[in-house]
Amino acid sequence: MALLAGCVTLSAQRLSVGGYGEVALSRNFYSDNVYRYSTAGAYAKDPGHGRFDIPHAVIYLGYDFGKGWTMQTEIEFEHTGTGAAVEKEFEEAGEWETEIEKGGEVELEQFWIQKSFFPELNVRMGHIVVPVGGLNNAHEPLNFFNVYRPEGEYTILPSTWHDTGISIWGQAGPWRYEAQVVAGLDAFLFNRDNFVKNGAGSPYEFKVANNYGLAARIDNTSVKGLRLGLSGYWGNSMHNSYPNDMQTTARREEDGTYTITDNKYKSLKGRTLIGAFDFAYRGHGWIVRGNADYGSLTDAYEISRLKRNGTSNNAPYQKSFVGKGAYAAGLEAGYDLFDRLVPVREQHLYVFARGERYDSFLPADGQTDFPYTGRTVVSAGINWFPIPEIAVKCEYLHRFLSAQYNDEPAVNIGIVYQAFFKK
């Protein structure tokens, strides 16, 4: 059997097809009013609200060309929603215009071509996953117990973090390493509630790359069943917008000449540094996973002022403050009640609990604190695997906020799959 692509005949035996998907049903026992944090007392007795969602539906397509050359794509559909692109219309006095043109919230999360020289050295170029943090390293739904992705890392880091660049990676015994150069984050897309999460995205039909970021990860599996991982990111995030705000300004004088003035924000770097540790253990019926992440941002106070006061109201930037840092830490453990039952060995029934603490806004000097951004989340429930590729999830989740706010309990139910259909 063969597939015809242009004038090249491709072997179906070298084609890989797979994917994953999630269906989620939620009942939230708290108000969803936009003022529930600014005037919490007024919404303490509001009725809850329910949601049905398709958080992610993903298709993998890969091909092995031979002689060490491979290709991989990952197309993701999120929330069955609508997408938009933003353009700056220079012929219309530089106004920002939003066009609904993408036909759905669809993202190309991966598109790369790789040359493998030997196991210790592989070079990958294209649109790649940035594996900073435990969630970005293993974001598929069978890699966490909760119905939705673990909240802390999902809140403060891009998820799934994907960007265009070049990656060098390899495996040597129990060690795996990866080093990447990717397009830098955009400080104008940072905000109080999500720290740098939105900074890897782009409201345009292209990704601005005035600055570049460096990402790295190393994992060790020397102990049977245990994986330990360290990862990080470094890069400047200011002046990574469009049009390039580092450009000089020309002012026309009365005599017809022009005076060139330097950008007064030229010295702002917005240096972003992220460090993360994560681990996963599987053995004796147990699965235990954990993470600890910390991110810092220089010039946070000045960037916040510039975003709020120095950009036009219809520009596609986040107007809210961004803090000097954020953190997330979580731990989950699940035990398989079917582990010792030989007749149902293919099935698994995990009873699990998870706890995490995160804060998306650590204020810089001169900034007001917003205590609602610091949260403790506790959840417990079950994951039933009728077959290895499918899981049915059910959980009770309780989000604890500072005393002046209302806690946020919820019940979530989901069904997920993750598989390769052809490999």
The answer to the question of residue 8 being in a domain is: no
Residue tagged 């060995």 (tokens): 345
For the stretch 16-75, pLDDT in tens is 999 999 999 999 999 998 899 989 999 999 989 999 999 999 999 999 999 999 999 999
- The answer to the question of residue 4 being in a domain is no
pTM tops 0.85: yes
Exposure letters 176-205 (e unless 16+ CB within 10 A, then b) = bebebebbbbbbbbbbbbbbbbbbbebbee
Q: What are the tens digits of pLDDT across the range 306-364? A: 888 766 667 777 788 999 999 999 999 999 999 988 776 789 999 999 999 999 999 99
Residue 9 has pLDDT above 80, yes or no: no
Q: What is the DSSP letter of 401?
A: -
Nearest 5 degrees, angle CA 104-CA 105-CA 106?
A: 95
CATH, residue 339:
2.40.160.10
Residue 2 lies in a domain: no
pLDDT tens per residue across span 126-170: 999 999 999 999 999 999 999 999 999 999 999 899 999 999 999
Count of the separate structural domains present in the chain: 1
Residue 379 has pLDDT above 60, yes or no: yes
Query: Residue 97 gets which letter from DSSP?
Result: E
Q: Kindly compute the dihedral angle of the four CA atoms of residues 241, 246, 252, 258, in this order, to the nearest 10 degrees.
A: -150
Give domain status of residue 5, yes or no: no
Q: Is residue 9 part of a domain?
A: no
Question: Per the domain annotation, does 10 fall within a domain?
Answer: no
Domain that holds residue 198: 16-422
